[in-house]
Amino acid sequence: MTGTFDVEDLILKLNNVEKSALLAGADWWHTVPIERLAIPSIRMSDGPNGVRGTKFFNGVKAACFPCGTGLGATWDIDLLRKAGQLMGDESKSKGSHIILGPTINMQRSPLGGRGFESLSEDPVLAGLGAAALVNGIQDKDIAATIKHFVCNDQEHERNGTNAILTDRALREIYCLPFQLVVRDSQPACFMTAYNKINGLHVSENPKILKDILRGEWGWEGLVMSDWWGTYSTSGAINAGLDLEMAGPTRWRGIALQQAVSVGKVHQHILDERVRNVLNLINRVSAAKIAENAPEEAANTPETAALLRKIGAESIVLMKNEDKILPLSKDKKTLILGPNAKYAAYHGGGSAALAAFYAVTPYDGIKAQLTSEPSYTVGSYAHKELPLIGEILKTDKGETGISFRAYNEAPGSPDRKIVDELILTRTELLMMDYIRPDLNEIWYADIEGYYTAEEDCDFEFGLGVYGTAKLFVDEKLLIDNHTKQTKGTMFFSCGTVEEKGVLAVKKGQTYHLKVEFGSAPTSRLDPGNNVLFGNGAVRIGGAKVISADEEIKHAAELAKDADQVIICAGLNSDWEGEGTDRENMDLPGTMNDLISAVSAVNPSTVVVMQSGTPVEMPWVSSVKAMVHAWYGGNETGNAIADVLFGNVNPSAKLPLSFPKRVQDNPAFLSYRTERGRTLYGEDIYVGYRYYEMVDVATLFPFGHGLSYTTFSISDLVVSKDDMNLKTTVKVTNTGDVAGAEVVQVYISQKNPSIKRPKKELRGFNKIFLEKGENKTVEINIEVKYATSFWDEVRDSWISEKDTYEVLVGDTSAEIAATGEFVVEKTSWWKGL
């Protein structure tokens, strides 16, 4: 696809049937082409931490970046722009003109299923970080889609929930990051949230789309719905929703043509929606991506190097008593934990993709040690049993499973194979698996061979959206067909995981076969879920262990080690699209493992992986800990680089870590109740709340240590009518080179209403050699530094008052303070 066309001329030439067709997707990932007028189809792809391409099922492998909170933890605008540029290159390799990301919803609770996708609990950090990503993506002529606008902050009943909140909270917390992205990067696209706001779904909400986004902010791009997040014809079109996704249409087409013909949608409104689609097609033509381009895996050394750098820069050094870290590469090392030999490199749902590769922490650490480490799992962490594709073989000896699709049910005479594939992953999300030669109801046989490594009981698990049975050596082990129980797998469309235990003998090979029926065979009541696609199946398995015996074994090994690394945390089972976490607990017996091992070996380091906070009842007994999020392809290498000091950690928490879930400001209102979710904490999200009510956190917002030390001094605050300039001297007072994040908070001294004690308004990351000092400058527009939302005037207000500037390296540790004065109260709207 090359060149541009005259949009206004095309609008005159298009008939209303064609115009209606342009305003909905053709399928999951493409817009509708109009061949008569040479209007091409353009492609889009998830997502927030990489570019999957057009397939959930058996897709082309891709670069996976650290999750959103990991990207936010870098506090590094320049690095995030480079990350965005790499995302743009990845998009081109997948033939995609549009990236569906970044995600910048606010983490009002640690329990959000998609919290890991977003950058921060703070709107300024989220907005400025996302703007950098968008600028990087759009440097490559790829369109970025900022999402989900707005208040898509939970997964529980997300399509129907009514988010009830004040205009002040809406503007100061939830809209502000989007406002900053528009101001600083002008993203090509916005994606609407699934939910309602104060009674009306966002995708048909004129206040949100017409008045705020297009009116006040003057933004002129394309608005698309989230997938099946369009709920009306006339209402959505009139409010400003340009593109219904995914296709084929449910609400446009003939329905829209009828709405125009009877005046429910005026012709000029239809033309405006079409104009936005055509302008986007024109815009992305600069990327020179052919229509329906082939997808390729652009796995290069340069990509690996940048992903490794971003991964290491995202890791937060949480604790380092007695300078346990960095570790020695020469000492006798024990590696423990469920996340050691498992690469937790992304969260679940839209953020998931098939990576080029994924380095486990065990492999990354082992590669830097001079001698072989000891290992035992210590405890399990899975919600569903681990996928087993990598330990299975096909009938031809290849790693993985064979997949054979049929139109006829198992046992039918003369079954004919419609499709045959070899797959290495035993989670098959077939929502976008479409073949014209398959009926609506179809079947698949999924087969592999498992050779036992030891005598043990081995537990298998089977979850499905559709129906499935698991046979071992032709004997039925798990029936997830006859009777089904609703669960949270597959965006909450699927069953719970049904399990069966098999006694296996070392060296013996077992034939596994799953008989799968596509989505329409499901026996589940869909409830209020949006159901989509052809179905899904997940096959897992693990050795049955005694939790107590395994912890004792780990502790005995720890006594004999010079240093212990426990790789703990969550994974995509626990944090993923479609369901929120029920609590902040670590799964299984992980807390007991950490307590037992740290009690016998003081040189124990915990590597924690999660996208959002977890409770840590053992934290006082552990001397060293890093938080590594979900780190993308280079997860294990990035962790090892920090543990051994190849990289001096410089990341800072983009989220407050409360001591317990009950301390969180949204604790009493983080669910849909009778169709509504009350944002009862108002503007007091995250650190704004903890500071206001004086509740101590486990780790505060902005926290992050280094292997060196820094001082911040010589604060100078200056102001003119438009801009506030803060300068400080930062000195590396330690022994090694490193980076410090200077955080600038603003506090109004005598506000006319209650305001947070302080709010982040700017930041800058500075790299310094040992003994070096530099002057750091942070510039903030005065109106953004001082204003709150005046609900009486329906405007931002910057009050006449004295304001305090608080500069530190965390929200809890302020190193220097200054003041400035606003001489006159003023109100403003827009950017």
Residues carrying an active site annotation: 226
* 763 strand-pairing partners: 743
Nearest 10 degrees: Cα torsion 766, 768, 771, 772? -70
Q: Beta strands of 171-215 (E only): which ranges?
A: 189-192, 196-197, 200-201
Residue 677: how many other CB atoms lie within 10 Å: 25
Tell me the C-alpha distance between 119 and 106, whole Å.
8
Longest CA–CA separation in the chain, Å: 87
Cα 270 to Cα 239, 306, 425, 773, distances in angstroms: 11, 44, 44, 58
User: 390: exposed, middle or buried (C-beta count within 10 Å: 0-12, 13-18, 19+)?
Assistant: exposed
Tell me how many degrees the CA angle 738-366-358 measures, rounded to the nearest 5: 80
Q: Name every residue whose Cβ is closer than 8 Å to that of residue 775 and which is 6 or more positions away in sequence.
A: 714, 727, 728, 729, 730
Tell me the C-alpha distance between 731 and 718, whole Å.
22
Measured between its terminal Cα atoms, the distance across the chain in Å is 34
Tell me the C-alpha distance between 655 and 585, whole Å.
17
Tell me the C-alpha distance between 180 and 186, whole Å.
9
Tell me the C-alpha distance between 48 and 38, whole Å.
31
Q: Give Rg (Cα) of the chain.
A: 27
**Cβ atoms of 173 and 123 closer than 8 Å:** yes
Tokens of 414: 């003369």
Q: How does DSSP assign 382-436, residue by residue?
A: -SSPPB-GGGEE-TTS-BSEEEEEESSPTT-TT--EEEEEEES-SEEE-TT---T
Tell me the C-alpha distance between 18 and 210, whole Å.
24
Strand, coil or helix: what is 634? coil
Residue with tokens 């395994």: 550
Residue with tokens 């050596």: 473
Tell me the C-alpha distance between 746 and 749, whole Å.
10
Tokens of 676: 């509504």
Peptide bond into 201 cis (omega under 30): no
Nearest 10 degrees: Cα torsion 631, 637, 641, 643? 80
Tell me the C-alpha distance between 92 and 560, whole Å.
51
Give how far the C-alpha of residue 712 lies from the chain's centroid of Cα atoms, to the nearest Å. 33
Cα 192 to Cα 160, 240, 416, 700, distances in angstroms: 14, 10, 43, 31
Tell me the C-alpha distance between 302 and 306, whole Å.
6
* 478 strand-pairing partners: 470
